[in-house]
Amino acid sequence: MYTPPLYYLYLKLFVAFFGNSLIAMKIASVIPLSGTLALGATKIRKLFGDTTACLYLLFFACIPCTMEFSVQVRMYSLAVLCVTLCGVYAYCVFTEGGLKNYILVGVSGVLAAYTHYFAFMSVIVIMLFLFIAILAANRKKLTAFCLLGVCMIAAYLPWFPYFYHQVVAVNQGYWIPEISADYVWGYFTWTFSLENLPWTVFLFFILLKAASTRNTVALSRGKRREEVYALACMLVPTVTMIAGVIISVCTTPIYREQYIFPSLALLALFLGIALRDAGRYVLAAVCAFLLAVGCGQYKECRYQEYYSTLLPQTEQLLETSGARDATVLYNYDTFGFIYEVQFAEKFPDMTFVSLANFDFSQDFDAVWFFDTEWQPDIDPSILETYGLIMEPMGHFGIEHNEFDVYRICHAD
């Protein structure tokens, strides 16, 4: 699997300075997401005013998925910053021109493509809309736009062979389930629904429909470029999702709900522009609703981060059972890195080894086995051959992975 490399290179800088510190890695995710919010208080505020900036900040910060993904050690916060920069400065290219704006669109677009494949898809949509706008209203910029496109393509060429191999691998089969009506509905509930108040998704539909209607009415009264741009901002995540669904239906399922996240700040910008001239009572109601959702999601995220996992029980077991410097075997290879990072500070002398790489013939006092249910188990013949026994210690877990823990030692 060829995953775009930028986020991992970015994260490696934090690891180089702070080691395998989970807190440092989470801060690495918070920084670009904070940059996306700061963009609202700076450039977006300058372009569209205080009301738009305020609505942009509240909407993007308070929708349920943002709070969850802002602290996950994943590439999404970096992807959303790059896509949003590309979308905002594409507007500046059209309205102002200027070498700086062209450079910012090109650099942010290429960085987005090197961060996530569906961020790449959103950048393609942004560039397509910019091309249509230039072709329709400002053809003097067409040469500069074409040069920008050539430079962006050239900058992505080093990664293109890996992108191609990924496409081929996906077409040969992928782990994402078949697209169904329930699965598509999950795209919206993941984005807008609180776990304890699932009907919030319908309130967001009403809010976005009201914003869309207001924007359409403004367009019908005379095209203003801000309203046209707002429509384009709304269409970027929409087209990205529709393209993902169509590809998934026609070829191999490749689209998941979180793949829309890199373009969601542009949806927030659409809302901010569409409702910026609404009355004070309407704006007060919208802000109150968004803040209420944000408070509810904060409570859910706090539970998810600190209380939904069995990590405290797992740490207590290792602490009280004399396993601080033990060897831990695991059969879920994907979680190997997560184990090392999570336990690095509390158990610095602990060693983690994949079950497939462990030599049971070596001399050892005891090892601990994290046995994830749907992963390969230890062959009983190996235990019999080397005179080993497995002592069950209970059911534990970390993050979204639960497992049974066994203490493996020699029978004598």
Rounded percentage of the chain residues whose pLDDT exceeds 90: 54
For residue 347 the two structure tokens come to 């158990």
Q: What is the reported pTM?
A: 0.85
Name the one residue in this structure whose structure tokens are 């308070």.
Answer: 62
CA 195 from centre of chain: 19
Of 105-109, 177-181, 373-377, give the lowest mean pLDDT range.
177-181
Whole-number Å distance between alpha carbons of 38 and 40: 5
Which pLDDT band holds residue 311 (cuts at 50, 70, 90)? confident
Query: In this structure, are residues 60 and 264 in contact, taking their beta carbons and an 8 Å threshold?
Result: yes
Among 157, 163, 2, 13, which residue's Cα sits nearest to residue 78? 13
Please write down the HEC assignment for all residues of the chain. Answer: CCCCCHHHHHHHHHHHHHCCCHHHHHHHHHHHHHHHHHHHHHHHHHHHCHHHHHHHHHHHHHCHHHHHHCCCCCCHHHHHHHHHHHHHHHHHHHHCCCHHHHHHHHHHHHHHHCCCHHHHHHHHHHHHHHHHHHHHHCHHHHHHHHHHHHHHHHHHHHHHHHHHHHHHHHHCCCCCCCCCHHHHHHHHHHHHCCCCCCCHHHHHHHHHHHHHHHHHHHHHCCCCHHHHHHHHHHHHHHHHHHHHHHHHHHCCCCCCHHHHHHHHHHHHHHHHHHCCCCCHHHHHHHHHHHHHHHHHHHHHHHHHHHCCCCHHHHHHHHHHCCCCCCEEEECCHHHHHHHHHHHCCCCCCCEEEEHHHCCCCCCCCEEEEEEECCCCCCCHHHHHHCCEEEEEEEEEEECCEEEEEEEEEECC
What pLDDT is stored for residue 163 in this prediction? 85
Residues across the chain: 412
Say which residue, 81 or 316, is predicted with more confidence: 81
- Residue 172 reports pLDDT greater than 60: no
Per-range mean pLDDT, top range of 117-131, 209-223, 295-309: 117-131
Of 29-43, 110-124, 222-236, give the lowest mean pLDDT range.
222-236
- Residue 213 reports pLDDT greater than 70: yes
Which pLDDT band holds residue 193 (cuts at 50, 70, 90)? confident
Among 209, 259, 254, which residue's Cα sits nearest to residue 234? 209
- Residue 50 reports pLDDT greater than 90: yes
Whole-number Å distance between alpha carbons of 266 and 108: 14
- Residue 178 reports pLDDT greater than 80: no
- Residue 398 reports pLDDT greater than 80: yes
Which pLDDT band holds residue 285 (cuts at 50, 70, 90)? very high
Query: In this structure, are residues 386 and 349 in contact, taking their beta carbons and an 8 Å threshold?
Result: no
What pLDDT is stored for residue 162 in this prediction? 87
Rounded percentage of the chain residues whose pLDDT exceeds 70: 97
- Residue 18 reports pLDDT greater than 90: no
What pLDDT is stored for residue 346 in this prediction? 84
What's the average model confidence in pLDDT over 181-194?
A: 86
- Residue 230 reports pLDDT greater than 90: yes
Give the CA-trace dihedral at 20, 25, 27, 30, to 10 degrees. 180
Whole-number Å distance between alpha carbons of 204 and 27: 29
**Angle in degrees, CA 387, 388, 392, rounded to 5:** 155
Residue type, 104: L
Query: In this structure, are residues 163 and 2 in contact, taking their beta carbons and an 8 Å threshold?
Result: yes
Query: In this structure, are residues 62 and 98 in contact, taking their beta carbons and an 8 Å threshold?
Result: no
Query: In this structure, are residues 233 and 55 in contact, taking their beta carbons and an 8 Å threshold?
Result: no
- Residue 175 reports pLDDT greater than 60: no
- Residue 34 reports pLDDT greater than 90: yes
Whole-number Å distance between alpha carbons of 9 and 404: 34
What's the average model confidence in pLDDT over 289-300?
A: 90
What pLDDT is stored for residue 320 in this prediction? 86
First-to-final CA distance of the chain: 44
- Residue 173 reports pLDDT greater than 60: no
Q: Which residues are paired to 371 by β-bridges?
A: 404
> Average per-residue pLDDT in the chain?
89
Query: In this structure, are residues 390 and 369 in contact, taking their beta carbons and an 8 Å threshold?
Result: yes
Q: Which residues are paired to 353 by β-bridges?
A: 329
From the CB of residue 345, how many other CB atoms can be counted at a distance below 10 Å?
Answer: 12
For residue 286 the two structure tokens come to 């919208």
